[in-house]
Amino acid sequence: MSVSRGACILLMYALCVAAPVFAASDSAVFPPLSSEELDAVVGEIRAMVKTDESQVSDFVVREATPARIDRLYHMPELPQLEQTVRENGLIFAGQGSILTFDKPSDIVGKVSAWFPGEIAAARASDRQSFFGYVHMWGPYTSWGDEQIAFLTLWNCMPQIAWLRPAENPFTRRLSDSLPFMAIAARSSNELDFGQCVRTRSGLRPAWTEADIPVVRKEVRDMSERVTPVLRNKFANFLTTHRCQGTGPDDCVLILLLWASLSPADAELAVAIQMLEAEVAPDSPLPELQKPADQYEDGAQEGEQRFDTALRQAAFLRAKLISVLNAPTAWPADALQALLHQLTQLQQKLAAAIDHRWNYYELDYYNEPVNPWSVFARCPGNTPQVQAAILAELNGIGADATCAVYEQWFKQGGASLQTAYALKRLTANQSLRCASPDWAWLKQGRSSGARALRNGYLALLGRGETGSMHDMLLSGLTDNGQACFDGNAVADTGWLHDVCKTWISEPQAVRPALEHSRLRLGDAEAFSEAPLEPIPAAVMAQDERAQSEQAQWLGRLGQNRKGDAGQKLQAIAAELSRRGVLVYAATQWNHPDHPTSLIELQISMAEQSSEPVWPFMGSRLLLVIEPQNIALVGVPQRFNYQYDEGEIAHVSDLDEDGKFEVWFSGTFGECDGEDLQPGVDCAIETLHMGEITGDALSYFANTPKQWPMLKRVGASGGLEWLCHELATFG
């Protein structure tokens, strides 16, 4: 639509809604004031201009009677009066007929007729606000109920509806600021219609501390009077006009206001169900007007698909508020069906929104229409609702992107995402896009948090998923550090049990382990052993690289028994499928140990946006046992500041059959001639972990008792036994 055509339509709309104000028949019902009457009324209005707002109720009216005010505001000459007279004159209209309406657009039509120049200037401005253009005083407790409703709706309606009455009120443009902010709002955080009605409309200054409760009570009393008036106006209008209106008459906007005002209203539920087919919240979004790559650096500005999406979101927000607050007015399966509608909406938004821009996302200026924020407060955060949400999340397809989960997790609170993650881990499934709230779990301030924490604790050491085991330990113990905070361990029973069982040393260690009383010496350290060189085709990464690599890997286990060879073939196939090539390999053996370790340093053809264990970095470990071969990953927490470090040692100090892997690296540069390690720059640091299942995890000292006693000798045996009793008992 061209600008000139749009302006014409807007002008025609304004003329239509304003027409009843100055209709020819009005002169018979509301005859113009005589010059004497006009002077008297205007004089009294000017006296009101000088009156403090706190004294309005004490003002004695003699000339500006409701009848005369009605006649004044029907006079064609009204706009010629100065603005302050027109604004203050409405203070006297609280018992007259001009502050009455049948539909919201009646209000903007009348105000536009009373303040034509001011309204036009506000609409032409890029400020998207009436502030500084027109101000209407009130409402006041002495007014009639409908008159209070008139000013309340003017004060609390999203200003976008008054500014663009001929358009979709959910339209967003890049130049928009806070289009849903009401005139009466005191800050940018106040975007809720119901809150505005209950706490803002009619709130006058309180000049003394004693006035504050009086003023607040006035506002509450007026909101109680006006609420039934507004909901009746909304209900009658929607029954008659359904979804034919725009701007302030848009049916979705009215439903949203109604839901905010009276969420438990059964008639609201009836209206939503009556109009859902017309709104069509599940319909596809309109296509872009041109190919996406033709928008260059723009944000696909002005596309109808985004306006439609925000309107659909607003409808579902109103519906969700009603379903949660008036459940008996809805079918039994309404909540579960609605949750699925929300998932479908998020899928549409995730596919539609240009990732370069966030102006159309629900968390960017669009919070008033965001359905998911309803779940943050009661009754949206009850256990029953959370269970229904979990059921919906579990039904989302495996191909869904994390954007589909974003609003659920962001607005569902710590318990929702943490419960969802636990459910998936218990079923031995990936976390997908979830992340447990470890801080909330560790604090355990609610029975729900403690119950979920017990669920996570029960997963420790379960099955072969060493990566899950390591993730659980890291989250529950602050990467192992909490186990070495004496106060934290002493004060927390569950943490004491976890540390005693699973974490004997921190990640950063020295060759002499402080807590386990073990020492890495030459006798205990595995030695590097010869390994068949990596084929030249693999190093050159030519077309034969993957086949040559598979054959080379197969030869590494050719002398092993059982199904070791088949496992190596499976590992080789997985590397090939992921485009992984080995560019360096090192083997560690020990003459007294039947198992060896091979480090594979790898490169990947394409880095996945969602890496799959154990392909999380540039290093893989192969544990070569007599009858088995296992592929092991290394968590990123073992990394150093600039790289992943180097394997310095391999050992099995506690002789439990599980390798300890020692990395060497530094935090910070230390390459100057005059720099002293540990003084001017970082000193070398050892990181150590123990292989558990398919992951390198924390070192747990689980020795075979008699070999350990033999190692420390008779003289140290008693001391060692006492230490073990203190550690494990």
Kindly write down the DSSP assignment for every residue of 376-400, as one continuous string: GSTTTTSHHHHHHHHHHHHTS-TT-
Which helix (H) or strand (E) segment holds residue 689: the answer is: strand 685-692
Q: What is the mean pLDDT of residues 680-706?
A: 84
The yes-or-no verdict on residue 667 having pLDDT over 90 is no
| Residue 133, CB-side half-sphere exposure with 13 Å CA sphere | 23
Q: Please tell me which residue, 520 or 204, carries the higher pLDDT value.
A: 520
The yes-or-no verdict on residue 355 having pLDDT over 70 is no
Q: What is the pLDDT of residues 700-710, one digit of tens each?
A: 999 864 444 44
Q: What is the mean pLDDT of residues 244-251?
A: 97
Residue 219 is predicted with a pLDDT of 93
Q: Please tell me which residue, 465 or 624, carries the higher pLDDT value.
A: 624
Q: What is the mean pLDDT of residues 656-667?
A: 89
Amino acid found at 22: F
The yes-or-no verdict on residue 232 having pLDDT over 60 is yes
Q: What is the mean pLDDT of residues 482-507?
A: 90
Residue 627 is predicted with a pLDDT of 84
Q: What is the pLDDT of residues 128-146, one digit of tens each?
A: 889 889 999 999 999 999 9
Residues 6+ apart with CB under 8 A from 53: 137, 204, 205
Exposed, middle or buried by CB within 10 Å (0-12, 13-18, 19+), for 74?
buried
Q: What is the pLDDT of residues 59-91, one digit of tens each?
A: 999 999 999 999 999 999 999 999 999 999 999
| Confidence band, pLDDT 50/70/90 cuts, at residue 20 | very low
Instruction: Give which of 413, 508, 514, 507 is closest to 727, Cα–Cα.
Output: 514
| Confidence band, pLDDT 50/70/90 cuts, at residue 11 | very low
Residue 565 is predicted with a pLDDT of 78
Q: What is the pLDDT of residues 391-414, one digit of tens each?
A: 999 999 888 888 899 899 988 888
- What are the CA-CA distances from residue 64 to residues 85, 99, 393 (Å)? 12, 15, 63
On whether the CB atoms of residues 319 and 269 are closer than 8 A, the answer is no
Q: What is the pLDDT of residues 316-334, one digit of tens each?
A: 999 999 999 999 999 999 9
According to DSSP, the residues that pair with 647 across neighbouring strands are: 663
393-416 burial code (b ≥16 CB/10 A, e <16): beebeeebeebbbbbbbbbbbbbb
Q: Please tell me which residue, 226 or 463, carries the higher pLDDT value.
A: 226
Residues 6+ apart with CB under 8 A from 36: none
* Overall pTM > 0.75: yes
The yes-or-no verdict on residue 200 having pLDDT over 90 is yes
Residue 681 is predicted with a pLDDT of 65
Euclidean distance between the first and final Cα of the chain, in Å? 79
Instruction: Tokens for 465, please give them.
Output: 């998923």
| Confidence band, pLDDT 50/70/90 cuts, at residue 378 | confident
Q: Please tell me which residue, 113 or 9, carries the higher pLDDT value.
A: 113
